Amino acid sequence: LASQIYVACQNGKVDQALSLGFLLCWIAGDVTNFVGCYLTNQLPIQTVTAISYVNMDIILISQFVYYKLKNQKMTKCKVFQ
Protein backbone atom coordinates (compact mmCIF):
# COMPACT_ATOMS: atom_id res chain seq x y z
CA LEU A 1 0.00 0.00 0.00
CA ALA A 2 2.86 2.37 0.72
CA SER A 3 4.21 1.85 -2.82
CA GLN A 4 0.74 2.71 -4.17
CA ILE A 5 0.86 6.00 -2.28
CA TYR A 6 4.34 6.75 -3.67
CA VAL A 7 3.34 5.99 -7.27
CA ALA A 8 0.21 8.12 -6.87
CA CYS A 9 2.36 11.06 -5.76
CA GLN A 10 4.58 10.63 -8.81
CA ASN A 11 1.88 10.57 -11.47
CA GLY A 12 -0.79 12.72 -9.75
CA LYS A 13 -3.73 10.72 -11.12
CA VAL A 14 -5.25 9.34 -7.94
CA ASP A 15 -8.63 10.88 -8.67
CA GLN A 16 -8.77 8.99 -11.99
CA ALA A 17 -7.56 5.65 -10.63
CA LEU A 18 -9.83 5.31 -7.57
CA SER A 19 -13.37 6.31 -6.72
CA LEU A 20 -14.32 8.11 -3.54
CA GLY A 21 -16.97 5.46 -2.82
CA PHE A 22 -14.34 2.73 -2.94
CA LEU A 23 -12.07 4.65 -0.58
CA LEU A 24 -14.92 5.30 1.88
CA CYS A 25 -15.87 1.60 1.89
CA TRP A 26 -12.22 0.71 2.39
CA ILE A 27 -11.79 3.03 5.38
CA ALA A 28 -15.10 1.84 6.86
CA GLY A 29 -13.82 -1.72 6.79
CA ASP A 30 -10.51 -0.78 8.36
CA VAL A 31 -12.18 1.33 11.07
CA THR A 32 -14.49 -1.57 11.99
CA ASN A 33 -11.45 -3.84 12.05
CA PHE A 34 -9.78 -1.46 14.52
CA VAL A 35 -12.91 -1.18 16.67
CA GLY A 36 -13.18 -4.98 16.73
CA CYS A 37 -9.53 -5.31 17.76
CA TYR A 38 -9.99 -2.76 20.52
CA LEU A 39 -13.25 -4.15 21.89
CA THR A 40 -12.06 -7.76 21.95
CA ASN A 41 -8.63 -6.97 23.44
CA GLN A 42 -6.66 -8.47 20.59
CA LEU A 43 -2.89 -8.72 20.59
CA PRO A 44 -1.14 -5.36 20.47
CA ILE A 45 0.37 -6.13 17.05
CA GLN A 46 -3.15 -6.61 15.62
CA THR A 47 -4.28 -3.28 17.03
CA VAL A 48 -1.16 -1.52 15.73
CA THR A 49 -1.72 -3.08 12.30
CA ALA A 50 -5.34 -1.88 12.30
CA ILE A 51 -4.20 1.64 13.22
CA SER A 52 -1.63 1.49 10.43
CA TYR A 53 -4.33 0.54 7.90
CA VAL A 54 -6.57 3.41 9.01
CA ASN A 55 -3.65 5.85 8.72
CA MET A 56 -2.87 4.63 5.19
CA ASP A 57 -6.54 5.04 4.26
CA ILE A 58 -6.52 8.61 5.56
CA ILE A 59 -3.43 9.33 3.46
CA LEU A 60 -5.08 7.84 0.36
CA ILE A 61 -8.26 9.86 0.88
CA SER A 62 -6.19 13.00 1.45
CA GLN A 63 -4.30 12.35 -1.77
CA PHE A 64 -7.55 11.75 -3.61
CA VAL A 65 -9.04 15.05 -2.46
CA TYR A 66 -5.82 17.00 -3.07
CA TYR A 67 -5.34 15.75 -6.62
CA LYS A 68 -9.05 16.04 -7.42
CA LEU A 69 -8.97 19.73 -6.47
CA LYS A 70 -5.61 20.30 -8.15
CA ASN A 71 -6.69 18.66 -11.41
CA GLN A 72 -9.99 20.59 -11.42
CA LYS A 73 -8.09 23.85 -10.92
CA MET A 74 -5.72 23.01 -13.78
CA THR A 75 -8.66 22.14 -16.03
CA LYS A 76 -10.32 25.49 -15.26
CA CYS A 77 -7.06 27.32 -16.00
CA LYS A 78 -6.77 25.59 -19.38
CA VAL A 79 -10.36 26.50 -20.28
CA PHE A 80 -9.79 30.19 -19.60
CA GLN A 81 -6.57 30.38 -21.62
Sequence ranges of the domains in the chain: 1-80
% of the chain surpassing 70 pLDDT:
80
Alpha carbon distance 48, 54 (integer Å): 10
Would you state the pLDDT for residue 43? 95
The model's pTM is 0.77
Which residues of the chain are modeled with pLDDT < 70?
1-5, 75-81
3-class DSSP state of 72:
helix
